[in-house]
């Protein structure tokens, strides 16, 4: 029980903060555009506690702390996928619904959540640089994820990566970028281990022995130790914070592109257990590690939500943009089918990520050992 608390309590706290930031972006821009928000919920399911403000918005904390939503007047569901039967609303109330607004206003509301997450990451990284400094992460392996390529290739904790394909490695961020471009390749590593230099060639792919199909991936499954920090004044830190956020955004986007295009193995996809493990590790490493992880997760949350998949913010942006091009919205039936397909896709990806976690952390073997 203590392990569960140590692993998932940091995860729940971090996720709650990031979800609050994301939904607050939607909330503020919706209110700014004259849309009435009826519910602001942290979590899903039955309400645990909450209150109603003077604008008749119900602020609530719900039972399942794995996300959140803002529900707007006239929406049939929290995703704002379709309008409810608004025949009983007054004309004034109808003008306060999201679906009564122009496509550009709807795009602004949808984009505000991801924008808030990016802004949060910039501010968090700026604060980290002012308080602690610009992080320098030595290319030394601090932890190896079970079942991943690093473990299979014989890499060890405390290995220092000196070169990759004859390119000198100066820090872990550089190593991460190079690994991200290694999908489908045989890559040579020069490693310092216990004072000796070791050479390894690691294949960032595997070949199915039956079908001979080549599956590429671009993750080793290694984690660095605590970074060192070089401090800067608050003005200089703005530039460093923006640059660092941009680098993390590009890196995250590249990872998503590789995953979507099949250049990275789907086995690299992690779910709640993986994020919970990272949150627990960052908590052990101190506040700066937590801020770093929150910045990275906030960027991930923004980019994932911007994917043009119905039920995600990017799906709303895509459909509103399509309405601008066509001069009219899609039919209610077409939108309903599109959002259903989007929901099934997102649910399928979440289930697949959870399955990967169960295999990665050997949950089935652990349960079997109990009997």
Contacts of 119 (CB under 8 A, 6+ apart): none
Residue 81: strand, helix, or coil: coil
* Contact between residue 69 and residue 39 where contact means Cβ atoms under 8 Å apart: yes
Q: In terms of C-beta density within 10 A (0-12 exposed, 13-18 middle, 19 or more buried), how is residue 135 classed?
A: buried
Nearest-angstrom CA–CA distance, 321 and 309: 13
Please enumerate in sequence order all residues whose Cβ is within 8 A of that of 209, keeping only pairs 6 or more positions apart, or say none: none
Q: Which residues does 291 contact at the CB level (< 8 Å), separation at least 6?
A: 124, 125, 127, 128
Q: How far is CA 4 from CA 48, 117, 277, in A?
A: 21, 27, 10
Terminal C-alpha separation, the chain:
18
Judge residue 221's burial from the number of C-beta atoms within 10 Å of its C-beta, 0-12 exposed, 13-18 middle, 19 or more buried. Answer: buried
* Beta-sheet pairing, 205-207 with 196-203: unpaired
Six-digit token pair at 62? 């719900």
Active site residues: 23
Phi, psi angle pair for 184, to nearest 5°: 80, 5
Contact 109, 33 (CB under 8 A): yes
SS3 256: helix
Whether 134 and 148 have beta carbons less than 8 Å apart is answered as: no
């Amino acid at each position: 029980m203590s392990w569960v608390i140590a692993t998932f309590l940091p995860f729940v706290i971090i996720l709650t903060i990031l979800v609050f930031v994301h939904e607050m972006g939607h909330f503020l821009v919706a209110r700014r555009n004259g849309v009435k928000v009826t519910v602001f919920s942290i979590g899903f399911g039955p309400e645990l506690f909450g209150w109603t403000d003077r604008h008749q918005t119900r602020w609530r904390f719900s039972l399942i702390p794995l996300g959140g939503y803002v529900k707007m007047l006239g929406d049939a569901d929290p995703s704002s996928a379709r309008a409810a039967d608004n025949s009983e609303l007054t004309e004034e109330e109808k003008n306060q619904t999201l679906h009564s607004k122009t496509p550009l206003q709807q795009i602004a509301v949808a984009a505000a959540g991801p924008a808030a997450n990016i802004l949060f990451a910039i501010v968090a990284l700026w604060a980290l640089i002012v308080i602690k400094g610009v992080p320098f992460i030595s290319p030394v392996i601090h932890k190896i994820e079970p079942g991943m390529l690093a473990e299979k290739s014989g890499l060890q904790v405390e290995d220092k990566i000196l070169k990759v394909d004859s390119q000198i490695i100066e820090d872990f961020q550089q190593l991460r970028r190079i690994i991200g471009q290694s999908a489908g390749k045989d890559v040579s590593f020069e490693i310092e281990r216990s004072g000796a230099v070791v050479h390894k060639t690691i294949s960032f792919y595997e070949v199915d022995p039956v079908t001979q199909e080549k599956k590429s991936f671009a993750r080793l499954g290694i984690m660095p130790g605590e970074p060192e920090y070089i401090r800067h004044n608050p003005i200089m830190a703005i530039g460093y914070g923006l640059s660092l956020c941009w680098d993390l955004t590009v890196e995250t986007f590249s990872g998503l592109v590789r995953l979507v295009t099949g250049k990275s193995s789907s086995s690299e996809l992690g779910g709640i257990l993986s994020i919970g493990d990272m949150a627990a590790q960052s908590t052990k490493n101190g506040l700066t590690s937590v801020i770093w992880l929150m910045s990275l997760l906030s960027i991930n949350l923004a980019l994932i939500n911007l994917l043009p998949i119905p039920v995600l913010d990017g799906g709303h942006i895509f459909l509103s943009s399509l309405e601008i091009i066509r001069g009219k919205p899609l039919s209610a039936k077409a939108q309903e089918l599109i959002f259903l397909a989007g929901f099934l896709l997102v649910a399928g990806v979440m289930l697949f990520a959870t399955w990967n976690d169960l295999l990665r952390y050997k949950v089935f073997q652990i349960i079997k050992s109990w009997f």
